[in-house]
Amino acid sequence: MNSLTLHAPAKINLSLRILGKRDDGFHELDTLMVKLPGLADEIQFDASPEFSFACDDPSVPSDEHNLVVKAVRQFQEATGLPASYRILLRKTIPHGAGLGGGSSDAASTLLGLNRLYARPLTEEKIQEIASSLGSDVPFFLLPGAARCTGRGEKITPAPAPVPFRILLLKPAFGVPTPDAYRRWSQSQEIPGIRYAPQDLAGVQLTNDLERPVFEKHRFLAELKQWLLTRNEIAAALLCGSGSTIFAALSDGADAKQITRAAQCELDPGLWSWSGLTS
Ligand code: C5P
């Protein structure tokens, strides 16, 4: 095969519970994640004399720091193959957003190269490489929803909750994931902000990272509360470590109108996306 294009979807955590800090510095998790097939980066592989990488978003590193390049290096090391493709990454998923964009790109890169070279790596080896690249990466190797434990890398496919319509809102700033976890054990709730689980069609929406993230970035707590005061919103929650907040929309809710109101009343620079969970 000379070329291949893959779509790397975003994710949201419907629930994220932190069970404690581990000796290796990571946190023990129990999280339920679903993919957003309609919000995806595009990764194009074209045969080339040697490997090269480019990204259409200049704010994303296009050197060895990019998770796509890290995935390529691991593939080359594990297989001894050159990965001689020009890889072009077209970003749609914002980064520093808690939507798993970089992790999804890395997973698609591994799957893409393994396909292009007629599967030199076993599923187990791909899993192993994926977890070494990041806690969220193994989740993106499989389709559908999953419950993820350990540091997030232990995947149990979960029955997909009924798809529902969501609105994502994100300010221009991002949240560095290590910072959110580091603050977790010392963090306090802000009075007046709703942290309690919200029932959505039998799923208890909750995110333990809201406490540390809201404390540092009050605007995100304000954005969640603002969404929860609206009738058209069934629930609202921080995505992963942020900085995106997702809102589950009630039937008939007008996502564009809610976005315009949020931009007008809270922050004209809010990024938004609306679509279905898988
Ligand atoms: O695994 P990943 O590279 O995505 O993790 C980024 C950072 O987030 C880690 O270096 C760690 O500080 C924090 N983290 C954590 N516990 C997890 C996942 C991530 O403390 N389960």
Q: Where are the domains of the chain?
A: 3-157, 165-276
Task: Assign domain 3-157 one CATH number from 3.40.50.880, 3.30.230.10, 2.30.30.100, 3.40.1360.10.
Answer: 3.30.230.10
For residue 256, the model assigns a pLDDT of 98
For residue 3, the model assigns a pLDDT of 95
Is 151 a pocket residue for ligand 1 (Cβ < 6 Å)? yes
For residue 161, the model assigns a pLDDT of 84
For residue 1, the model assigns a pLDDT of 75
Pocket test for ligand 1, best of 104, 131, 151 (most atoms within 8 A of CB): 151
For residue 138, the model assigns a pLDDT of 98
For residue 199, the model assigns a pLDDT of 96
Catalytic residues: 11, 136
Written in H, E and C, the secondary structure of the chain is CCEEEEEEEEEEEEEEEEEEECCCCCEEEEEEEEEEEEEEEEEEEEECCCCEEEECCCCCCCCCCCHHHHHHHHHHHHHCCCCCEEEEEECCCCCCCCCCHHHHHHHHHHHHHHHHCCCCCCHHHHHHHHHHHCCCHHHHHCCCCEEEEECCCEEEECCCCCCCEEEEEECCCCCCHHHHHHHHCCCCCCCCCCCCCEEECCEEEEECCHHHHHHHCHHHHHHHHHHHCCCCEEEEEECCCCCCEEEEECCCCCHHHHHHHHHHHCCCCCEEEEEECC
Task: Assign domain 165-276 one CATH number from 2.60.40.10, 3.30.70.890, 3.40.50.720, 1.20.1250.20.
Answer: 3.30.70.890
Closest ligand 1 atom to Cα of 27:
16
For residue 84, the model assigns a pLDDT of 97
pTM of the complete model beyond 0.95: yes
Is 134 a pocket residue for ligand 1 (Cβ < 6 Å)? yes
For residue 278, the model assigns a pLDDT of 84
Is 29 a pocket residue for ligand 1 (Cβ < 6 Å)? yes
Give 10-residue mean pLDDT values along the chain (278 residues): 95 98 97 97 97 96 96 98 98 97 98 98 98 98 96 94 94 97 97 97 95 98 98 97 97 97 98 95
For residue 263, the model assigns a pLDDT of 98
Pocket test for ligand 1, best of 17, 18, 19, 26 (most atoms within 8 A of CB): 26
